[in-house]
Amino acid sequence: MSAVLRRIRAFGGHLGLLAALALVAALLVAGVPRVANHYTDQGLRSDLSRLSYLNRDIVFGSGYDASDKSLPSGGDALLPSYEHDLPDPLPALVEDRWYTADSEVPGQNLSGPAPYTGVCRPSLRVRYQSGEAGAVRVVEGAAPVSDTTTVRAMVSRADAKQLGLKVGTKLTAAGTTTVLISGLFEPLDDDAPYWDTQRVERIGCPQADDGMTWQGTVLTDLEGSRLAVKQTELFEGRWRYRLDVDRITAPGLDALTTAVVDARRNPPQGRTLRSNAEPALLAFAKAQSGAQATVAVVESGLIATVLGLILLAALLMVERRRAEYALLRARGAIAGTVALRTLAETVLVVAPTVLLGWLFCALLPGRAAGSEPALIAALLLLAVGVAPLLAALVGGTGGRRPGRPGSRRLAGEVFVLLLAGLGVVLVRQRGVQDGVDPFLSVVPVLLGAAAALAVVRLLPWPLRKAGRLAARARGLVAFLGLARAGRGTPLSAGPVAVLIVAAATGVFTVAVNSTISDARDRATDRAVGADAQVTGFGFAAGTDRLLTQVPGVDAAVPLLAGSGAQLTATSGRRAQAQLVIIDGAAANDLLRRSGVTARMPGSLASATTSGPIQAVVSPDVAADIGAGGSVSVQGRSYEFRVAETTAEIPGLGTGTRRFIALPWRSVPAPDFQPLVPTRYLLAGHDFDNDAVRKAADAGQREYYLALLRRTIDAGITQVTDQQLPRLAEIITWEQHRQELEDSGVNALLTFVFLAGAVGSIVLALLAVGLAVLADAPGRGQALSRLRTLGLSGRQGRNLLILELTPLLAVAFLAGTAVGWLLPRLIGPALGLDAFTAGVAPRVAVDPWLAVQALALLLAGLSTAVLVETAAHRRMGLGASLRLGEDI
């Protein structure tokens, strides 16, 4: 043991380097998947938490059935049995449950002192919901205790003010049933999911022109609910099961989705599943698959780079000890003895480091991958065993450097090239998002290795030619540097492969990040279409002036958007599509001022006043209606001909596949019924969103007042915000872009891109340093001899730079090319459109990539000079003449 410890002290630098690289590998193998799983689960839970209760919870519903004796009083008793019958894993995920019995009383069936809002009464929902005693605090009056003639109910203090109710208010429902407000309450936790379905809602009046009113909820007891049920057929019982998102993890997503589908297909008898969680679960599963594929590609590149560095570090140590191994062989030791001697050192130094790294990974947040123990065991075996194996090979040759393998090496290189090509073909056919295939995930590594083999095979020839030209020139530095570079030192196939894979991994992460960012920018251009978009029910013609009076708003262009426009083709075929009417010329001018890259089709800028209107349609609509037809706009029919087909209109959104767009100035609307904008595109900066919203609502009130005076009563003098069918909403370009950034797996992507970029840079510089260290003795010996011939220290550094620059430049260039090609080769298989709101991603590369690659090359050269200087200082340049000589 003492001899082993002495050797460890003697070769502590080499063993320490090997241990440090093994530690990094352990962090990559075990730590990165844990953190990635943490971000994945966190994103899933964040996405589910933002969903409405109908898209998150399991809700069974039942309409009124007089023969069903369980309604409403028996509904509570069914909660446990329905929960027990839920498909696994749903029962284990339920954190709370409620039974709700609702009786709807429309405003026209309600009489009493409840106020009018506009021209129609608010509607009322009489509800019994289990668990109300532990969710409310009665602040006035008393909790409801109904009898056989009167429904006693309580209402929240905030809702009572909005609905005009108070303690003692008596309302008559359906002409016979009395509803008495017995008390007011305040929720103990107003944000609790218990109240998700009890907020006051805006609803339309029975007559569409009457505007909007409210629908409120009052809470009663079981007796009151039974009495209310007898007087109305608008009854529904609901059994709601709240899922705890903190118990949901990404691996259980498929089982959860399957369980929800099973619950929909096989609900309790007489019930239907009213919730709709499957789309959200499937959307996240798609995004997760794409993210996992990207993680696998980046992680495989980093792990392959680190393993290559471990191999280089082991080779460096073995080369330094070649004379020692030759002496052992001369004394009768066999190759196995040499290997065991080295194994004793690596077990004591490297093995604890790997286990320490694994222990540290266990402290990181996130789930461990199922293959983590096997991967750590494989890493331990590799990190501990690679140096002994190389020592045995060196010892087996008696310390002599083996000759070139010749045909075997050529066959191996051809095999790697074929394997890389086959991997590209398979990954494009199968993809990597549906279950990460280890082989397909290492295709980038194979491509990097293939590029390295090509570089090592092809580069020496032009370098030798350049060396011959340099020999004719004055000076020795250029000739010697190119001559050494042409012989393949110091960068052989191993270091070049490590450099190329590291550079390719970094460029791949940058390219994928740029691709996703570009697609999200285009998705935002399509969804918002300007610096901001204002949406409402309808705006008066002068609203654009009100909007541009807001400080910071430079221009406003109206847009009329309507769903379900009726189309009739010339052939008589009918279809429906989203209708868009906009002034294309004004909109394009606004888009240019906004800096939005998207543009309106040229046909929308036309101003024809005779003949059919030039229309722009989506490909789906074009396939249905052919060359033209007629479209209904605000109750009038207009002839159109298809002038252009396009898949997108800025400001319309990313999910619209069927639309017809008409130029505003070509639609001959009468003066008494002008076109009514429903949206405005805004150009400007640093404006106040609230001020824009107020100006838009002023335009809405003006339009709605004119509508009411024209259709109901000319004496109406004002319209309040509460009477508007819809308050104006504003979304800015930055807000929509940030919403895309806040998607569930975005944190995972950010982590992967950061780890890939930083890791590849650090590992590439380590590869340069190891490659320089590997040939430091030989270079030191040559410099010592050249010093006796008058070579200066500056010329020695220039010699190193000239020797490394062609090799490093070509390696980084090859790595950059592989990283740039990877998204084009395997990008379609990664499912990147899951992160871009459905917009097809186009491979985009950061314009600064060339500058970054140049900076990395300069950093590599600087690292080489620093490592060389440190190595020579440690060795003593004057003693280098005998360094590395055979004994």
Q: Are 615 and 655 in contact (CB under 8 A)?
A: no
Q: What share of the chain is helix, strand, coil (3-state, %, to 5)?
A: 55, 15, 25
What angle (nearest 5°) sits at the alpha carbon of residue 712, between those of residues 672 and 565?
55
* CA–CA dist 309, 499 (Å, integer): 10
β-strand 628-633 against 553-569: which pairing, if any?
antiparallel
Cis peptide before 72 (omega within 30 of 0): yes
Strands 659-663 and 272-273: unpaired
In 659-745, alpha helices (H): 689-711, 733-741
SS3 61: strand
Residue with tokens 């010749």: 406
Contact present, 679 and 534 (Cβ < 8 Å): yes
d(CA 558, CA 586): 9
Structural element, H or E, at residue 585: helix 584-594
With beta carbons less than 8 A apart as the criterion, state whether 35 and 750 touch: no
What does 519-546 look like in DSSP terms, one character per residue? HHHHHHHHHH-SSEEEE-S---TTHHHH
* Locus of tokens 């109904």: 146
Query: What is the reported pLDDT for 506?
Result: 84
Residue bearing tokens 């890939």: 756
Encode pLDDT of 521-543 as tens digits: 888 888 888 899 999 888 988 89
Residue type present at position 764? A
pLDDT the model gives residue 334: 79
Residue 634's pLDDT is 82
Residue 570 burial (10 A CB sphere; 0-12, 13-18, 19+): middle
What's the sign of the alpha-carbon dihedral 136, 722, 53, 191?
negative
Are 308 and 501 spatial neighbours (Cβ–Cβ below 8 Å)? yes
Please tell me the distance from the alpha carbon of residue 850 to that of residue 816, in angstroms, as a whole number: 9
CA distance 455 to 449: 10
Amino acid at site 750: T
pLDDT score, position 886: 41
Which residues, 6 or more positions from 590, have their beta carbon under 8 angstroms from its beta carbon? 530, 555, 556, 557, 681, 682, 683
The Cβ-side half-sphere exposure at 132, using a 13 Å CA radius, reads 23
Regions of the chain where pLDDT drops below 50: 116-117, 399, 489-490, 879-887
The three-state (H, E, C) secondary structure of 239-257, written as one string: EEEEECHHHCCHHHHHHHH
Helix or strand (DSSP H, E) at 201 = strand 201-204
Q: Give residue 682's pLDDT.
A: 92
Query: 10 Å Cβ neighbour count for 178?
Result: 14
The total of other beta-carbon atoms located within 10 Å of residue 738's CB is 12
The pLDDT of residue 884 is 44
Rounded CA gap, 419 and 553, in Å? 58
Among the listed residues 115, 120, 103, 338, the one whose alpha carbon sits nearest the alpha carbon of residue 234: 103
- pLDDT score for 514: 84
Among all chains, which residue has been given the structure tokens 């510089």?
Answer: 765
Please report the pLDDT score of residue 731 as a whole number.
92
Give the whole-angstrom CA distance, residue 685 versus residue 708. Answer: 35
Q: What is the pLDDT of residue 882?
A: 45
pTM (2 decimals)?
0.78
The type of residue at 709 is: R
- Name the token pair of 313: 């570090």
Q: Check if the beta carbon of residue 519 is closer than 8 Å to that of residue 840.
A: yes
